[in-house]
Amino acid sequence: MAPNEREPRSDALSIHSIATEFGVLLPDSIGDTRFGASIAGIVSQRWDWGTAHLNIAGQLTRDQHADLFTGIILEGPNKWTVRPVAEFFYEEEFGPAHTVSALVGAIWQVRDNLSFDVGFRHAITNVNEVRAGLTYGFPLRLLGPSGK
């Protein structure tokens, strides 16, 4: 084990993390030709029974409106290969609209650094959609000093 790595915890205490996301909204191929941008903060807490994520994000939409999003994601136990997930969120696009939405689905943990997810989302604004994605993780120590 490298000097800057910690031994994994085996007790029932919780594990927490903080993350940020930044993004650029590219022009729509069949619609708006303008760019947008987004920034998000995510606070997560993991327990033996599951994980909770609190997301807060701001966005400048392609049509140049401010947008604020807040949501919570609840996942089943991390040790399960396939675990249930639910998301509830509120989004306010200042000017045009606001959205209240819920999603239910599952996450399939293929390896420590690879998972697939699928879910069904319903919004009060009569939006129904199926969402799917994948997450691939890589260690940050590859980006830093080699520790030698």
Which residue type occupies 75?
E
Core vs surface per residue 7-43: b (16+ CB within 10 A) or e: eeeeeeeeeeeeeeeeeeeeeeeeeeeeebebeeebe
Q: What is the pTM of this model?
A: 0.71
Q: Rounded distance, CA 143 to CA 99, Å?
A: 38
* pLDDT tens series, the chain, 148 aa: 444 444 444 445 567 899 888 899 888 778 778 899 999 999 999 999 999 999 999 999 888 889 999 999 999 998 999 999 999 999 888 877 788 899 999 999 999 889 999 999 998 877 888 989 998 887 766 555 554 4
Q: Rounded distance, CA 148 to CA 146, Å?
A: 6
| Residues 6+ positions from 17 with CB-CB distance below 8 Å | 43, 44
Sign (positive or negative) of CA dihedral 5, 8, 12, 15: positive
